[in-house]
Amino acid sequence: MKKKIFIFSAALLISSLSIAQKKELRDAEKALKKGSIAEAKSALQSIESSISSADDRFKAQYYYLDGKLNYEEAKKGGDADAAYQEAVESFKSLIEIEKESGSEKYTGEASQLIQTISADLVNSAVEDNQNEDYAAAAKKLYMAYQLDTDNQDYLYFAASSAVNGEDFDTALEYYLKLKELGYTGEATKYYATNKETGEREELPKDQRDLMVKAGTHNKPEEEKTESRFPEIVKNIALIYSQQGDNEKAIEAVQEARKVDPEDVNLLMTEANLYIKLDQKDKFREVMEQAIQKDPNNPMLYYNLGVITGEQGDKEKAKEYYEKSIELDPKYEASYMNMASLILGDEVAIVDEMNSLGTSKADNERYDELKKKREDLYRDAVPYLEKILELNPESLDATKTLMNIYGSIGDDDKYKEMKDKLDSMQ
């Protein structure tokens, strides 16, 4: 008999709870309709602790209303990110409950609201990026990705925002996830030429086809965008490098080169990593590979000139600088390094001159060395003058030329450079 009374009492308790839940849910729905967020929140909070034991239909309604409540709070500002997150979690709980129960009463609207939240987050992230609030942009874009994991572009742009905000740990996490997913970001773009304006326009495929069929456009074309995968792996390498993990960085960039062996930028990235590791022979090897792929790039020859000069092969370094200048007669850095390389021999000449005595043989050797030194100056002058032609405000070139003209006795040019230097300082 006692057992029957207990069951009867439990049934009464459950019934009372259901009535209370139904009333509070109804009150919350009414409050939301009239825009009273505080009132709706109070009604939902009053049944929060008991909702786990409620019927599925009440659970679904609760999470539906909670999602809408948080969505409205997010739109009003405050801690919008947290409110959006809460809204999405509630909507997802609702969809899961209705999926299991076979009902779809709220699922359609909840799914649409999730898409709306995703769009709101992306639009807000664009604004954050424009305002250089990269941390907020990265967070919102990642939330948008969590809402729609099929849209991996959101994760890619979240990583880019994190990089711009110098949050390299977060950026690395996102890039590694993209790499794991095999994300490429490749897409097909559709174009047609507007007959009236003659301009080539990018259009959605269906619209493009319709306009071509209607006769307003012609010359339909399609283009595939480049893969973002090499860039992603390159950025992984750069972040590892920035974090001081150069070994992982080299592994990452070598992997990227397997994906895109023709990308000279990847070779340059690997070469720069070898510089950081002070592996100059490997740097030179990779730079020579880069030249084979891009033989008309003056920067590659310039970089090879720098390393070759540091390794003591001055003649080969001069060849690289000359080739850089041949490819780009306005490549100022190559002119400066050529002049520096030539003038670098002056130190040994001056040291020997200072070591000489006063004998006849020493005096003759001194004169030979003096002439050799002046010849160095004259060899360097054309490169320094070219720098001033390209960049009249070059302080280093002006000062060096003034000293050279003074040493070789060209008084007029010495005065010209001195006056120029005085006006610059």
Q: Where are the domains of the chain?
A: 2-131, 188-224, 330-425
Residue 8 pLDDT class (50, 70, 90 cuts): very low
Domain 330-425 architecture: Alpha Horseshoe (1.25)
Higher pLDDT, 262 or 343: 343
d(C-alpha 284, C-alpha 261), whole Å: 18
Cα–Cα distances (Å) from 298 to 286, 287, 288, 321, in that order, read 16, 12, 13, 9
> Which pLDDT score is estimated for 19?
60
pLDDT > 80? residue 387: yes
Q: Average the pLDDT over 267-290 and give the result.
A: 83
> What six digits make up the tokens of 92?
């997802």
- Could you give the angle at the alpha carbon of 413 between the alpha carbons of 409 and 414, nearest 5°? 65
Cβ neighbours for 167, distance < 8 A, ≥ 6 positions apart? 134, 135, 138
Percentage above 70 pLDDT, the chain: 95
d(C-alpha 165, C-alpha 137), whole Å: 9
d(C-alpha 141, C-alpha 139), whole Å: 6
Domain 2-131 CATH assignment equals 2.40.50: no
User: Are 288 and 308 in contact, with CB atoms under 8 Å apart?
Assistant: no
Backbone angles phi, psi at 410, to 5 degrees: -90, 85
Query: How remote is the C-alpha of 161 from its chain's centroid?
Result: 7
User: Are 281 and 313 in contact, with CB atoms under 8 Å apart?
Assistant: no
CA atoms within 13 A on the CB side of 117: 35
Q: Do domains 2-131 and 330-425 have the same CATH topology?
A: no
User: Are 365 and 357 in contact, with CB atoms under 8 Å apart?
Assistant: no
What is the CB neighbour count within 10 angstroms for residue 97?
A: 21
> Which pLDDT score is estimated for 18?
60
Tally DSSP H helices, then E strands, for the chain. Answer: 20, 3
Q: Average the pLDDT over 56-64 and give the result.
A: 84
User: Are 379 and 339 in contact, with CB atoms under 8 Å apart?
Assistant: no
> Which pLDDT score is estimated for 78?
64
Percentage above 90 pLDDT, the chain: 43
Q: Average the pLDDT over 264-291 and give the result.
A: 83
Whole-number mean pLDDT of the chain?
86
> Which pLDDT score is estimated for 287?
83
User: 202 in helix, strand or coil?
Assistant: strand
DSSP 377-400: HHHHHHHHHHHHHH-TT-HHHHHH
pTM of the model: 0.62
User: Are 121 and 84 in contact, with CB atoms under 8 Å apart?
Assistant: yes
Residue 5 pLDDT class (50, 70, 90 cuts): very low
Q: Where are the alpha helices (DSSP H) in 80-227?
A: 80-101, 107-130, 134-147, 153-164, 168-181, 205-214
User: Which pLDDT tens digit goes with each residue over 350-383?
Assistant: 999 999 998 999 999 999 999 999 999 999 999 9
User: Are 406 and 414 in contact, with CB atoms under 8 Å apart?
Assistant: yes
